[in-house]
Structure 1
């Protein structure tokens, strides 16, 4: 965290928002920590929050589009080979624990639930790509992830601003 704060504060004041945007694109930092770092560095609160949200959302969008293209290609290859549901079941058995956790949450809460709460488990970039891999609509994932990214960014940005104001 100190390195991210140092990186952002080392930029000229007029470009610190760009540093916050780049930080927001980093998995596990995302909009929530990116907005807080921006506020701590002194970027105006609305700009820090917006920059972190945009960085996170752009990164997530790119990964979702790539995951969707990969899934479409894999489905086409499987269809050409005539693979059955048994092959899908076999692939299911090779998932990691975190993938299984996301899949169970996806099956239970759908795209909205995983998008809003999934950041407790894995970064939005990873959960969004996983959901598309599970067969969720690319557009639904993008919309709900942007909602989640925005809410988390605003929440942590506001909390950081309140904390900074208390320290003054």
Structure 2
């Protein structure tokens, strides 16, 4: 099966291969790490697969940040209400571990873009959240790119 996939990707125009992993990168829960893994395991150069998946994931992240900021502003207008249990729980976890750790570990439980939305909507520092979410996108893509290379060497 890997040989057939590699043959198909080899015949695929590089722009189409890039767009395929870009689209995977945009999709929550697939994101940069699955896009990079799929592209690399399919025989794309790891740099091309990683770049496509990361760019797609960063697009989804930008939309999530924008929506989270809008949600935060909407919540600020209703500031007289006490914070919800969900918001208190998220802020308590981030306070406990910090934005860097929460960002880097979040993909194990939730999509990167959804995590960014929640953190910003909860009122965390937008700049810090964006920086660490971008780092998370790249780190997870690198890790899964290496896994893809390992899979190719093992099974290819």
With the length of structure 1 as denominator, give the TM-score of the two structures.
0.79
Counterparts of 1:130 and 1:19, CA distance in 2:
27
Counterparts of 1:105 and 1:38, CA distance in 2:
34
Corresponding residue of 1:152: 140
Partner-residue secondary structure (3-state), 1:42? coil
1:126 deviation in Å?
0.8
> In 2 relative to 1, CA 40–13 (structure 1 residues): closer, same or farther, beyond 3 Å?
farther
Query: 1:45-84 to 2 correspondence within 5 Å?
Result: 45-75=46-76, 77-78=77-78, 83=80
CA contact (8 A) 1:65 1:138 kept: no
Corresponding residue of 1:22: 23
Runs of 4 or more above 6 Å deviation: none
Counterparts of 1:124 and 1:88, CA distance in 2:
27
The unaligned stretches of length 5 or more in structure 2 are: none
CA contact (8 A) 1:23 1:29 kept: yes
CA contact (8 A) 1:20 1:51 kept: yes
Instruction: Tell me which moved more, 136-145 or 148-157.
Output: 136-145
Counterparts of 1:108 and 1:127, CA distance in 2:
16
The unaligned stretches of length 5 or more in structure 1 are: none
With the length of structure 2 as denominator, give the TM-score of the two structures.
0.85
